[in-house]
Amino acid sequence: MTSTPLITRELFIDGKWTAGAGDERLEVLNPATEQTIAEVPQATPADIDAAVRAARRAFDEGPWPAMRPAERAKILAAMADEMTRRRAELVELNITEAGSTRMIADFLQVGTPIDHFADMAHRVLPQFAFEQPVPPIYGRGIGQGAVVREPYGVAALITAFNFPFLLNLAKLAPALAAGCTAVLKSSPYTPLEALVLGEIAESAGLPPGVLNIVTGDVAAGEALTQHPGVDIVSFTGSDAVGRKVYAQGADSIKKVVLELGGKSANILLDDSDLDKVMESVLGGIITHAGQGCALLTRVLVHQSLHDELVARIVGTLGFITVGDPADPATMMGPLIRDVQRQRVESLIAAGVAEGAQIAFGGGRPAHLDRGFFLEPTLFVGVDNRMRIAQDEFFGPVGVVIPFSDDDEAVRIANDSRYGLCGGVWSADSQRAVALARRLRTGMVTINGGGGGLNPAAPFGGYKYSGVGREFGEYGLSEYLQHKTLQWPVG
């Protein structure tokens, strides 16, 4: 693993780069080497206030909300073009800052969000119905009217560390497309993939104040979610913090969109082809070291296939290369920080204490003395009531739970406080679809889904997995208000 020269960045407020009001600096680490790769200002509540005020002025007095959708689309398309031009650089930044393996960084962390951003500019925004007529009303004369969709206002966008560039763009694209102005606050672990968007906005000619980018600790975050100048909050993170954000926005009746955790079930029916399911099953454990809210981390398998499946998983995990994420041969990288690794290790210990058995892994890789690595880990002998089946690991840990029939599979899958994603495998596609419709989740992939993350499909979940949706027309709608206009005829 090679060292990286120290990067310095500033906050981006009102179209200008600033060192902020405070003296504290935030060190950014490479999670694979534990080396400091960058220093950025730690934003203070005063910086948050300055950012919100800039966004407020840009919304109330600036040109952005009043622009025709085609005009906004042109600037967003220029931003997408600039991201595409800098794609290789963004991939390297993601590997270094977030610890993604090269394949995940190139495809899911960077490539997919750029494609989604471009889709917003080229397809969604030009075609979106910002104004629609309503049927006439007959009474005291005849009334006719229209429903107008208008930008919500100033948007506070708060993102997590696991897929930083994707999450930043998943919020920023619809907010800007709607005509909102924004304050983007990144995770303290991954500020660089937010701040770089200031450079991209400058290059594309985004008006000053439309996008403001800050860092900050808990105090800064609370200053943002509670600020009277903010109209809508969109947060991605844990359900524990999401509940606090929801409460903080309530005092001033802000709209709050939440994309939270998951404990998603991958259901393998008795006619499943184990050769076909293995990539999906392994992906739920090792993809970005398990740091993904939509990963299928509970494997529910028909009891007739249980032993063979476990043997296959254990046999394959032994060949998973864990190490330097910059090496194209590496299949799993590190967790983001040691504190996250310790949380995962604590939950692993809880699983053992509850009586589950570790079929593979459970420790730290012996060949790596630096970096926040864990072995890919598999639990068997799991009861769905155990903590390891109910709580989100956010680490490279999967659990296997057998079931006897389709009804029991549905019951186990839905026995969760989360409802983000799910998967169903069967040789009978109609049977798989029928079972998928019974799952209380926002998304279900059937026989692997195919094609990847669809920018035209809504992303979000039920229950503790959140409120609202992201991506495409559905994400854009979250940042729009409805206004009814009515006038007399004749």
Q: What is the pLDDT of residue 3?
A: 53
Residue 103 domain-assigned (yes or no): yes
Question: What DSSP string describes 33-101?
Answer: T--EEEEEE---HHHHHHHHHHHHHHHHTSSTTTS-HHHHHHHHHHHHHHHHHTHHHHHHHHHHHH---
Q: What is the per-residue pLDDT across 207-232, written as a single tens digit (0 to 9) for each? A: 999 999 999 888 999 999 999 999 99
DSSP one-letter string for 115-127: HHHHHIIIIIHHH
Is the pLDDT at 2 greater than 70, yes or no? Answer: no
Residue 453: pLDDT above 90? Answer: no
Q: Are residues 419 and 481 in the same domain?
A: no
- In the predicted structure, residue 388 carries a pLDDT above the cut 80: yes
Task: Please determine, for residue 393, whether its predicted confidence score (pLDDT) is greater than 70.
Answer: yes
Same domain, 277 and 378: yes
Question: Residue 262's closest CA among 155, 418, 109?
Answer: 418
Mean pLDDT within 354-365:
98
Residue 455 domain flag: no
Q: If you write DSSP's letter for every residue of 114-173 in order, what string do you get?
A: HHHHHHIIIIIHHH--SEEEEEEEEESEEEEEEEEEEE--EEEEE--SSSHHHHHHHHHH
Q: How many helices (DSSP H) and strands (DSSP E) are in the chain?
A: 17, 23
Q: What is the pLDDT of residues 457-489, one digit of tens each?
A: 999 999 999 999 999 999 999 999 999 999 999
Kindly state the average pLDDT of the residues 368-374: 97
Q: pLDDT at position 337, please?
A: 98
Task: Give pLDDT, residue 423.
Answer: 98
Assigned token pair, 445? 């992939």
| Domain interval for residue 92 | 11-260+466-487
Confidence of residue 4 (pLDDT cuts 50, 70, 90): low
pLDDT digits (tens, 9 = 90+) for 267-296: 999 999 999 999 999 999 999 999 999 999
Which residues neighbour 344 within 8 Å (Cβ) at sequence distance 6 or greater? 290, 335, 374, 393, 394, 395, 396, 397
Q: Which of 259, 375, 392, 478 is catalytic?
A: 259
476: domain CATH number is: 3.40.605.10
70-113 pLDDT, tens digit per residue, is: 999 999 999 999 999 999 999 999 999 999 999 999 999 999 99
Task: Tell whether 402 and 296 lie within a shared domain.
Answer: yes
280 and 248 belong to one structural domain? no
Residue 126 domain-assigned (yes or no) = yes
Domain contains 216: yes
* Same domain? 83 vs 65: yes
- Residue 381: CATH number of its domain: 3.40.309.10
Per-residue pLDDT reduced to its tens digit, 226-246: 999 999 999 999 999 999 999
What pLDDT does 7 receive? 82
AA identity, residue 189: Y
Same domain, residue pair 166 and 242 = yes
The answer to whether residues 195 and 63 belong to one domain is: yes
Residue with tokens 């925004």: 125
Is position 319 within any domain? yes
The mean pLDDT of 358-373, rounded to a whole number, is 97
Domain count, the chain: 2
Write the DSSP symbol of residue 83. Answer: H
pLDDT at 53: 98
Residues 239 and 273 in one domain: no
The answer to the question of residue 456 being in a domain is no
145 with 178, same domain: the answer is: yes
Residue 259 known to be catalytic = yes
pLDDT at 1 over 70: no
> Does residue 245 share a domain with residue 171?
yes
Question: 255 in a domain, yes or no?
Answer: yes
Q: Are residues 36 and 131 in the same domain?
A: yes
Percent of the chain with pLDDT over 90: 96
Q: Is 459 among the domain residues?
A: no
Q: What is the pLDDT of residue 130?
A: 97
Q: What's the rounded mean pLDDT across residues 385-400?
A: 98
Predicted pLDDT at 401: 98
Residues 331, 208 share a domain: no
Mean of per-residue pLDDT scores for the chain: 96
The pLDDT tens digits for 406-421 are 999 999 999 999 999 9
DSSP 8-state class, residue 486: E
